[in-house]
Structure 1
Amino acid sequence: MRAMFIGIDDTDSRERYCTTYIGTLLMEELEKRYKMDTPKLIRMNPMVKYKTRGNGGISLRVLEENLKDRDIDYIKKTVLKYVEKYSDLEDENTNPGVVFLMEKDYKKNRELLKKYYKKVLYDIVDLDYAKEMVEKVGGEYVCYKKGYGIIGALGSIASSGPYTYELLTYRKKENWGKKRIIDDKSVVEMDRKTFPYTFNNVDGDKQIIAPNTKCPVLYGIRGVNKEILLEAMKMVKCEEKIDRYMIFKTNQGTDAHLRPMKIKDIYPNTGVIVHGVVTEDPKSIRGGAVIFKVCDNTGEISCVAYEPTKGFRDIVRKLKKGDMVGVYGTVREKPFGINLEKLKIVKLAKVYMKDKKCSCGGTLKSKGVKSGYVCNRCKKRVNYNSIKLIEVKRDISEGFYEVPPSARRHLSKPLLLF
């Protein structure tokens, strides 16, 4: 079999272009000659500092079984032509990379590629390591400038499920950089009609499907069903006509970046799921964040809900010492701790308050540990440690909680998909 994979990453900048746009143009071009698989848009470790926007690489798969040498040469030349034409090579932070891998080598090295995929999800990968891995699996890479895109290009090729989908629409070139005007009500209505097969479309009554950058993307709709995504696109109203669109297979909304870990094993810039017990009541800190600590049988770590998580912080504030929880999020280096993406309250601790009502109807007033309590009406005395305790009903329930869509990472799995 001489089918092949093509991986591309790091072609865009914060000012222009988009790697998925190159993928879309290449799909249109290559489909004129070859049978093509659904393209992939794969997000990698969101804690990578040198990413442009979402740390996502794309990959294409040519499905022809008997590619001739001239076909392979044509495909490679076409890919490089589009990468060179639609990469922001003038930006110092744009360092494109392209990877070519034949199907037979992909199949022969599947376990190595799975290992690499996990590595780019959980860690900060070195460029030399990526290059070595491309060579080890029999692939070929092309670097532009520093070539950091090699890392994500191979990561996209190497990815494995679970997958969701994203339908991306693109603007006509004359509209690039202009303000996107999309009807919020139409997106809210689309979200209602396509629930639960699409997700992360709205935050309250505001649409969040359109980026705020100068890239060619008009908007993107995420979901679990291709046909429903096509129907959803027809429901969205905007002031400009769509130039083209493409549906990508993606790991967005899967929590692929998170893994269960013991606290003693946690290190910065990775994604974790930790189960433990709250060791202190949450407190508010500067900047509107809320912090608490959780422990397991190996250690203790801080967990933080930052200001962009909005109402999610109100849930966090209601935690109490002794609650059993699962915390989902990425690990910040400074200050060291988990940035919360989701919270699972497994078991609520019982909370008690002192019953300061005397049998006569009066109120028991504290006179200190030695003197205990004295009723303000009948003057009855009650030993400090003998006062009756009554259980306080908690203003929170056991279950899963998540940050609002506007604060959600690309990879974060929304609760509706659980």
Structure 2
Amino acid sequence: MRIAHVGIDDTDSNYLGMCTTYIGALVDERLKGLGYAGIGEPRLIRLNPAYPMKTRGNGAVHLRYYIHDRRDASRLFEEVENIVARYATLKDPKTDPGVVLLVRDDQYPPQELEGFYLSALRGTVDLSAALRILMNLGGMAAWFKGGRGVIGAMAAIGAPEGSSTVYELLAYRSAGLGKGPRNVDEESVRLADLETWPMTYDNYDWYYMEPLVAPRGPDPVLLGIRGPDRGAVLRGYDLIKVDCRVERLLIYRTNHGSGSHVLDLESISELKPYTTVRLEGRVSKRPIMGSGSHVFFELEDSRGFRIRVAAYEPTKHFRLIAMGLEPGDRVRITGSFRPHDPDPPTVNLERLEVLELAQLTGVSAPRCPKCGHRMESEGSGKGYRCPKCGHRDRSLRPMEVRIPRKITLGEFVPPPRAHRHLTKPPEASIWEGRPSCSVEE
């Protein structure tokens, strides 16, 4: 027996609906109904969130099945292709579905594709390069428009097994029901979060008192629960009440919450468009709140290169942390670099670590040498007078005082409502057995 590795990507639309994970669920159900035995767990692999042509979460799926021979693989591939052709939102000009099949001797992702996966996770990949690699591996591919989905489908197959350490349970309603809130009981979501946290996460935003498990778009996802423990994910789902029919359900393993999309750079000069980076430097210009209530400041690295950094309005109170920065503060930022002409080059902030605070000083009237009360100036060159005891003194000078800072050292992330799929949540420090330094106050 051999293993057929199936990758599917780019079948959904921001405004017409559908979801690649839903098509993955349809494929899995159809193939198992035809007698193809699955091996391993279905995988949902999130790719570069800064990629300009992505549709919504930029996620591709990887499914695996036992087959007898290449003829068997061809029949399986035809079934997958037919399902994608039927359900993908081909009317959306941004949707560009692709299907890939690789036949291997085992269930593990091909090592030859690991570098390809990392390129698709952290940068951009050319379709012609993808097809050359696929041809060398003896794989099959099908696409319905420009072929961009082939890239994500290959990357999903190539993601190392250890890259997907979180489970995501996805419950689906019938496709085509339109936009709007799902009939999910909010109180039950709160209970599920309290019962299963931290082994599930981002179920509920306690800052803004709103559930996060259910999307609002036109896709068929009814709700999703994610976390590193499969049992906790199932427990969370069992606790949530929904007032509609669940059409089907599938649990994926995923690279959610891994932070694996981030590139560490030594200098701002190394920035490349459509990447998510981590940079260290000092604040060189005091933050300002611009139009749209977005917050902007400037970062300077050790080599003197500078870049604008933005904390956008959807990150809500996270912007207050950015507003508390001062020139001279040493910080480490994580964010995506997506050029938006004619705006200046900007890193969109996803995480902020305050490493060192500059000491701020100001001047204050001196204390009265007789009673200790704060004195008042009598005018330029006229000295000071104590309003309490009346003592006057022309020889006194203003005192230098330290100004308290509004923020502290620590690591700060936006509220859960603004997390990306790949953003490493504060709860990860508990899963990984390390002390958390995340601060969100």
Distance 1:169 1:365 in 2: 70
TM-score normalised by structure 1 residue count: 0.91
Give SS of 2:88's match.
coil
Equivalenced residue count is 409
Secondary structure, aligned partner of 2:141: strand
Worse-superposed segment, 25-34 or 395-404: 25-34
Map of 2:52 onto structure 1: 49
Matched residues in 2 for 1:183 and 1:45: separation? 33
**Does the C-alpha gap of structure 1 residues 235 and 109 become closer, same or farther in structure 2, counting only changes over 3 Å?**
closer
**Kept in 2: contact 1:268–1:336 (CA 8 A):** no
Aligned-partner Cα distance in 2 for 1:148–1:367: 72
Residue 282 of structure 2 is matched in structure 1 by 277
Specify whether residues 12 and 380 from structure 1 end up closer, same or farther in structure 2 by C-alpha distance, changes over 3 A only. same
List per-residue Cα deviations over 1:320-379 (Å, max 9, x = no partner): 2222211111113133121111111112222222232243445354977xx6x8314514
1:5-404 superposed matches below 5 A? 5-13=5-13, 14-31=15-32, 32-62=35-65, 64=66, 67-104=68-105, 110=111, 112-160=112-160, 161-163=162-164, 164-173=166-175, 175=177, 179-204=181-206, 205-261=209-265, 262-298=267-303, 299-334=305-340, 335-360=344-369, 361=373, 363=375, 365=377, 374-377=383-386, 378-382=392-396, 387-404=398-415
The one-letter code matched in structure 2 to 1:73 is: S
Specify every segment of 5 or more residues in structure 1 that has no aligned partner in the other structure, as ranges. Answer: none
For the 8 Å contact 1:27–1:36, the answer to whether it is kept is no
Q: 1:362 to 1:408 in 2, by over 3 A?
A: closer
Aligned-partner Cα distance in 2 for 1:416–1:108: 28
The question of whether the paired residues in 1 share the 8 Å contact of 2:44 and 2:255 is answered with yes
Letter in 2 for 1:127: L
Between the aligned partners of 2:181 and 2:279, the Cα distance in structure 1 is 41
3-state SS of paired residue (2:349) = strand
CA offset at residue 30 of structure 1? 2.6
Q: CA deviation at 1:92?
A: 2.8
- Secondary structure of the residue aligned to 1:198 is coil
Deviation, structure 1 residue 178: 6.5
In the TM superposition, residue 174 of structure 1 has moved relative to its aligned partner by: 7.6
Q: TM-score, normalised by structure 2?
A: 0.86
Where does the alignment leave 5 or more consecutive residues of structure 2 unmatched? 387-391, 430-441
RMSD after superposition: 2.3
| Matches of 1:95 and 1:267, distance apart in 2 | 25
Tell me how far 1:93 sits from its aligned partner: 2.6
CA distance in 1, matches of 2:337, 2:108: 34
Relative to structure 1, the CA distance from residue 28 to residue 228 in structure 2 (aligned partners, 3 Å threshold; closer, same or farther) is same
Give the Å deviation of 1:390: 2.4
Counterpart of 1:354 in structure 2: which amino acid? V
Q: Which amino acid aligns with 2:184?
A: I
Structure-2 change in CA distance of 1:73 and 1:390 (3 Å): same
The aligned amino acid for 1:113 is: L
